Structure 1
Amino acid sequence: MTQDKLMMMDTGLIETYYAKENGYHPFFIREHWQVAQLNYLPWLSFTTIERLEQHQQTDEIFVLTKGRAVLIAASMENSMVNFECILMKPGVTYNIPVNAWHSIAMDEDAEIIIVEKSNTHLGDVIYYPLSEMDKNKLKNQILELVQTSNY
């Protein structure tokens, strides 16, 4: 990652990290775990989720630090996708367990910290493309949640 995408400051004992650019930025990777920052991407807007993902080797922790975001989990029954959506609250820690289908929908100001097993983004990702019917169902569920919330 280039320095223009990630601001890192080392003052001796304390290191700080912050990604300014949109996208997924794993910035603190250690032997067994990593921390990343996810900033808004157009295909993760409230109306454009096209796929779910699953990790078979790690839980995934999400913490909203700025903006609005909806965390999406899904179960599959008889080729039907059932969505569970929650409007994230800043500073609250959310966990998606290993093997759970999930995604995230964000507004343009959203920033999310993600903690997971190291290098998950490089190999432990399975994608499930949503049908048009499922995309519409999810979009409507997300918009209803966002529009009816007091947050």
Structure 2
Amino acid sequence: MKKEWIDVCSYDGEGYLPLITYQSWRVAELRYCEELEVKNLDKMQKHDETDEVFVLLAGECTLFTGGNGDVISEIDGIKMEPLKIYNVKRGTFHTHTPEKGSTVLIIENSNTDDNINSPTLKMTPEQIEQVRKIYYKLNK
């Protein structure tokens, strides 16, 4: 195969890293990082202009949502299953906890940016506690 016809990417670090960007879309990987351990979660993010897709490739990851709107509300969570597609709808607050050894594939718009169209809100102490309770219930 001609090398100029295909890009091959991989990532074995911690946290989030975009791997391929083309025109309006981007593919990234999310791996375990200490910042995303459930005991350290204190904020949620939403994307004002686009949905975001998550696919668990390996390991375990819990995905949390916090309502759709201007404030975090209706916090819920789901333990992701490998190779299932989880589409977080535009405007929905969310965060996640990938466990050690986990890899999550992320597909999003290439213009998704924390400073432009993806606001992050701090959770209240009560919301943080709610996320932890959901996590421990799902991960017994």
Is the shorter-chain TM-score for this pair beyond 0.5, marking a shared fold?
yes
Indicate whether 1:124 and 2:122 are aligned.
Answer: no
After TM superposition, the score normalised by the length of structure 2 is 0.89
| Superposition deviation, residue 99 in structure 1 | 0.6
Task: Identify the residue that residue 53 of structure 1 maps to in structure 2.
Answer: 45
After TM superposition, the score normalised by the length of structure 1 is 0.83
Judge conservation of contact 1:46–1:106 (CA < 8 Å) in 2: no
Q: If each structure's strand is expressed as a fraction of its own residues, which one has the higher value?
A: 1
Q: How many residues align?
A: 137
Secondary structure of residue in 1 paired with 2:41: coil
Identity %: 23
Which AA in structure 2 matches 1:146? N
Measure, in 1, the Cα distance between the counterparts of 2:79 and 2:16: 20
Which AA in structure 1 matches 2:125? E
Secondary structure of residue in 1 paired with 2:78: strand
Measure, in 1, the Cα distance between the counterparts of 2:68 and 2:49: 19
Task: Identify the residue that residue 109 of structure 1 maps to in structure 2.
Answer: 101
Task: Identify the residue that residue 138 of structure 1 maps to in structure 2.
Answer: 131
| Superposition deviation, residue 83 in structure 1 | 1.2
| Superposition deviation, residue 76 in structure 1 | 6.9
Task: Identify the residue that residue 27 of structure 1 maps to in structure 2.
Answer: 19
Judge conservation of contact 2:57–2:82 (CA < 8 Å) in 1: yes
Indicate whether 1:66 and 2:58 are aligned.
Answer: yes
Secondary structure of residue in 2 paired with 1:120: coil
Secondary structure of residue in 1 paired with 2:113: helix
Task: Identify the residue that residue 4 of structure 1 maps to in structure 2.
Answer: none
Measure, in 1, the Cα distance between the counterparts of 2:139 and 2:35: 17
Secondary structure of residue in 2 paired with 1:17: coil
| Superposition deviation, residue 38 in structure 1 | 0.9
Judge conservation of contact 2:72–2:93 (CA < 8 Å) in 1: no
* Runs of 5+ consecutive residues of structure 2 not aligned to the other structure: none
| Superposition deviation, residue 66 in structure 1 | 1.2
- CA 1:137–1:92 in structure 2 vs 1: closer, same or farther (change >3 Å)? same
Judge conservation of contact 2:48–2:91 (CA < 8 Å) in 1: yes
* Runs of 5+ consecutive residues of structure 1 not aligned to the other structure: 1-9
The root-mean-square deviation of aligned C-alpha atoms, in Å, is 2.0
| Superposition deviation, residue 43 in structure 1 | 1.7
